[in-house]
Structure 1
Amino acid sequence: MSKSIKEIVRNGFNYTATYLKNIFTSIGGLKSQPNHYAVLHIHDRPYLLTENDQLTVPFNMKPLHRPGQIIRLTHCSKLGSRDFTIQGNPWIDNKLFTARAVVLEITKGPMFEKILDRRRQRHKKRVTSKHYQTVLRICELKIADELETSGSN
């Protein structure tokens, strides 16, 4: 590669500026569509989401996030609408979209009971637990208008 082309290196992505400009010109059809969806990954679990969706994730986000806090979601593998789709390999670059969620509540699920038994023994043990759940609402899901090259020379 020539030295005249600026390279953008962010979050493990290594794209040239001309390559990203070509992507932005080709997603005009996707941006013109009314509704968008995204396959967002939270703790390596994929969730198909649109704007204003409510999502219950089966783990506790309490140490890092409190109710009312806004989280930016950065791991997206698919972004699309009814007619157009962008597939990441493995992720779509953060410059192409913005996805934010609000933490609504951190609660516990229903009581879960598991019966443990050992082979060739008559004793059975009952183990109960209530797992944490975090409820999120997707407050923003939009495709970027233009290339943001802030922070690169």
Structure 2
Amino acid sequence: MNITFWKRCESLVKHVNICCPLANVSTGSVLRKRGQDVFRPPHTAPVSYSVKRYFHLQSVCLAHRVKEADDLAVTQTESVKKTEGITEAVNSCIDSEDLGRLFAVVHLAGFQRKVTVNDLVVMESSSFPTVGTRIRLEKVLLVGSKDFTLVGRPILSRSVVNIEATVIEKTLSPMVISFLLVRRKRVRKTKMQKNQQTVLLINSIEVNPIKN
């Protein structure tokens, strides 16, 4: 229980005792009325409607919280069981040799690219190592086969997927010509440039069983 709730209860009880001093009388008394003995029950403090409503609302809120906690626990248990079943099915597919042709979505030089084995990827970047270097692509967003697909949040773990590539060429792009003309201002500008490019060859895509 919340400590603040009990402090509020104590303050309400003190308020009732101050307003109704007869609330502490616990014994009854006998009155003489028209020659007959009439028993008068002990005085009880009149509890206001607001106090009753406060305790009623607190009990209702507590009951709803308990119910929500139970429903959440049941939902989590069901989700865990469902996740375990999906993981077992995916692991069984990975252990089998008939995976088909794997594909993956990787993040390279600020762009997302879908690749498979023996694909050539051309990027507008020169930050990669020298030609002939074998590298591992770390930012893998998605990997899949004909039976399943694994999606990262945002990327997959290194222990799940391994994609290796080889730098086969570092060259320049074709000539890019841009021309600017401003009418009646005698402004004519021609700009020619070549961008640095890197070509990668995807060597292999490997998927390992998922660990719970």
Report if TM-score (shorter chain) is over 0.5: yes
1:41 lines up with 2:111 in the alignment: no
Of the two, which has the highest radius of gyration? 2
Residue 105 of structure 1 is aligned with which of 159, 169, 173?
169
TM-score (norm 2): 0.53
Alignment partner of 1:141 is 2:209: no
The aligned length equals 124
For structure 1, which segment, 99-108 or 112-121, has the greater mean C-alpha deviation from structure 2 after superposition?
A: 112-121
How many angstroms apart in 1 are the aligned matches of 2:176 and 2:197?
A: 13
For the residue of structure 1 that corresponds to 2:159, the secondary structure is helix
SS at match of 2:135: strand
CA contact (8 A) 1:29 1:84 kept: no
Which structure has greater helix proportion? 2
Q: Does 1:28 align with 2:91?
A: yes
Moved over 3 A (4+): 22-26, 117-120
Is 2:190 aligned against 1:130?
A: no
Per the TM alignment, residue 28 of structure 1 is displaced from its structure 2 partner at its CA by 2.1
| In structure 2, C-alpha distance between the alignment counterparts of 1:110 and 1:118, rounded to whole Å | 26
Q: CA deviation at 1:131?
A: 0.8
RMSD of aligned alpha carbons: 2.1
Q: Which has the higher contact order (CA 8 A, sep 6+)?
A: 1
Gaps of 5+ in 2: 1-83
Identity across aligned pairs (percent)? 29
Matches within 5 A, 1:1-153: 25-31=88-94, 32=96, 33-61=99-127, 64-118=128-182, 121-145=185-209
Q: Helix, strand or coil for the counterpart of 1:27?
A: helix
Deviations 1:56-109 (A, max 9, x none): 112223xx4000001110111111012211111111111101011100010111
**Alignment CA distance shift 1:142-1:24 (3 Å):** farther
Q: Which has a greater percent of strand?
A: 1
Q: TM-score, normalised by structure 1?
A: 0.72
Q: 1:136 and 1:88, CA in 2 relative to 1: closer, same or farther beyond 3 A? A: same
Query: Is contact 2:140–2:155 with CA below 8 Å preserved after alignment?
Result: yes
| Contact kept in structure 2, 1:104 and 1:135, CA below 8 Å | yes
In the superposition, relative to structure 1, how do residues 82 and 59 fare at CA in structure 2: closer, same or farther (>3 Å)?
Answer: same
Q: Structure 1 residues 30, 133: CA separation in 2 closer, same or farther (over 3 Å shift)?
A: farther
Cα distance in 1, alignment partners of residues 171 and 87 from structure 2: 40
Given that residues 161 and 205 in structure 2 are in contact (C-alpha distance below 8 angstroms), is that contact kept between their aligned partners in structure 1? Answer: yes
